[in-house]
């Protein structure tokens, strides 16, 4: 559900403008002591048409602090939920510094109090987590607004079904739009039969994202069972998949990959060293050859070489074994190890 997005377009009643005054009003702590609490917040917003002073609830002050709102920022405050969004810095402050990372925006036009089309992108998981203990209406914006109110409650299947129904209803009405994402599952052969059953059922939903499964297994047992299947995936799930055929890298491709990785890591090598690493990658694995780059560079620097040489690679390979070599040594010298 994290891979299923929802784009909500809604016309909201907002207060928008440049902040010219931001004054939290304090009062004595009702619980006693020397501390004080925020009783209200006075904020003045300015547009090209005029200014308006607002007295805000102290809970909205938390949103202002979270968005790091300061005088000179352009913000808007949603009238129904109190949510605050910082749009950017007013362009009247653009000459304040020669260089900075701020985004400058023009002073809003029209009245401070206006109607504005707001677009929000959330995932279904965000809606599940935010509405685990619903408070408020059942319209789409009430559901989305729950995200700003953190809770710690269990997300049940019943809740997910309710969210799906409400989302489907507003998609039909054109208020919201489903944005399917991509769910990538690596080492999929490690999933058990229950996980595959859940995936099988979830893929039947019209809200399902694009699912990419990756594995390097051939005929193998499904995890947790004694049933063998291609790639360790149940046959009924394989029937739903488009299987992409992959080919091993050629020696030239391996050499090119190692050269790119060496350049990225700042390891200088010559043609002979690259050829030696490519040969090791073809014999052992590409991952092992790439992992040798760092110890090769250390050995080369210690020896005072300008570049990593073939001798450095042979020395590193004699110190650090790959998985196949280690397994072979364990088998050949099993009497020397505790078992």
pLDDT in tens, 155-175: 788 888 888 888 888 888 888
Phi-psi map region of 92: left, alpha, beta (phi>0 left; psi -120 to 50 alpha): alpha
Q: What CA–CA distance (Å, rounded) separates 186 from 179?
A: 23
Distance of CA 147 to the CA centre of its chain: 17
Q: How many CB atoms lie within 10 A of CB 86?
A: 18
Q: Are 81 and 120 in contact (CB under 8 A)?
A: no
What is the distance, to the nearest Å, from the Cα of residue 241 to the centroid of all Cα atoms in its chain? 25
Rounded CA-CA distance 295/238 in Å is: 42
Per cent of the chain over pLDDT 90 is: 25
Q: Which residue has the tokens 């390979």?
A: 317
Alpha-carbon distances, residue 197 vs 192, 240, 299 (angstroms): 9, 13, 51
Distance CA 171, CA 143 (A): 14
Per-residue pLDDT reduced to its tens digit, 78-111: 888 888 888 888 888 877 666 666 788 888 888 8
- Given a contact cutoff of 8 angstroms between Cβ atoms, the answer to whether 149 and 135 are in contact is yes
Q: How far apart are alpha carbons 276 and 315 in whole angstroms? A: 12
User: Judging by beta carbons within 10 Å of its beta carbon (0-12, 13-18, 19+), is residue 195 exposed, middle or buried?
Assistant: middle
| Maximal CA-CA distance, the chain | 89
Helix boundaries (H) for 20-107: 58-66
CB 293 within 8 A of CB 261: yes
The pairs formed by 198-205 with CB atoms below 8 angstroms and a separation of 24 or more are 199/237, 200/234, 200/236, 200/237, 200/240, 203/240, 205/164
Provide the pLDDT for residue 320: 92
Distance CA 333, CA 339 (A): 12
Query: Where do we find the tokens 């890298």?
Result: 249
Count of CA atoms in the C-beta half-sphere (13 A) of 171: 14
For residues 124 and 176, is the Cβ–Cβ distance under 8 A? no
What integer pLDDT is reported at residue 153 of this predicted model?
A: 62
Tokens of 94: 């653009």
User: Are residues 58 and 40 in contact, defined by beta-carbon separation less than 8 angstroms?
Assistant: yes
Q: How far apart are CA 74 and CA 70, in angstroms?
A: 9
Q: Cβ contacts of residue 258 below 8 Å, gap of 6+?
A: 274, 277, 278, 281, 286, 289, 290, 293
Degrees, nearest 5: CA angle 61-62-67: 100
Residues of the chain whose pLDDT is less than 50?
136, 138
Strand boundaries in 186-288, DSSP class E: 210-213, 219-221, 228-230
C-beta of residue 76 within 8 angstroms of C-beta of residue 16: yes
């Amino acid at each position: 559900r994290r891979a299923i997005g929802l784009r909500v377009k809604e016309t909201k009643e907002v207060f928008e403008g440049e902040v010219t005054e931001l004054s939290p009003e304090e009062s004595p702590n009702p619980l006693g002591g020397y501390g004080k609490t925020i009783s209200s917040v006075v904020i003045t917003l300015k547009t090209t048409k005029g200014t308006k002073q607002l007295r805000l609830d102290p809970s909205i002050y938390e949103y202002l602090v979270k968005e790091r709102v300061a005088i000179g920022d352009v913000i808007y405050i949603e009238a129904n939920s109190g949510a605050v969004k910082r749009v950017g810095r007013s362009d009247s402050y653009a000459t304040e510094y020669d260089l900075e990372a701020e985004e400058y925006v023009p002073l809003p036009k029209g009245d401070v109090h206006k109607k504005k089309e707001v677009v929000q992108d959330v995932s279904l998981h965000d809606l599940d987590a935010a509405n685990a203990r619903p408070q408020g209406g059942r319209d789409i914006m009430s559901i989305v607004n729950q995200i700003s109110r953190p809770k710690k409650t269990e997300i049940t299947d019943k809740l997910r079904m309710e969210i799906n129904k409400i989302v489907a209803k507003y998609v039909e009405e054109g208020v919201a739009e489903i944005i399917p994402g991509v769910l990538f599952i690596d080492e999929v052969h490690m999933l058990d039969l229950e996980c595959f059953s859940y995936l099988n059922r979830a893929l039947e939903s019209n809200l399902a994202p694009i699912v990419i499964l990756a594995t390097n297994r051939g005929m193998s047992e499904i995890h947790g069972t004694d049933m063998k299947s291609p790639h360790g995936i149940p046959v009924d799930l394989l029937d739903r998949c488009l299987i992409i055929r992959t080919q091993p890298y050629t020696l030239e491709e391996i050499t090119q990959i190692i050269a790119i990785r060496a350049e990225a890591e700042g390891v200088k090598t010559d043609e002979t060293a690259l050829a030696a690493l490519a040969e090791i990658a073809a014999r052992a694995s590409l991952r092992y050859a790439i992992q040798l780059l760092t110890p090769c560079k250390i050995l080369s620097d210690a020896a005072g070489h300008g570049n990593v040489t073939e001798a450095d690679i042979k020395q590193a390979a004699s110190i650090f074994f790959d998985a196949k070599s280690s397994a072979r040594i364990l088998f050949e010298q099993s009497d020397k190890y505790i078992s």
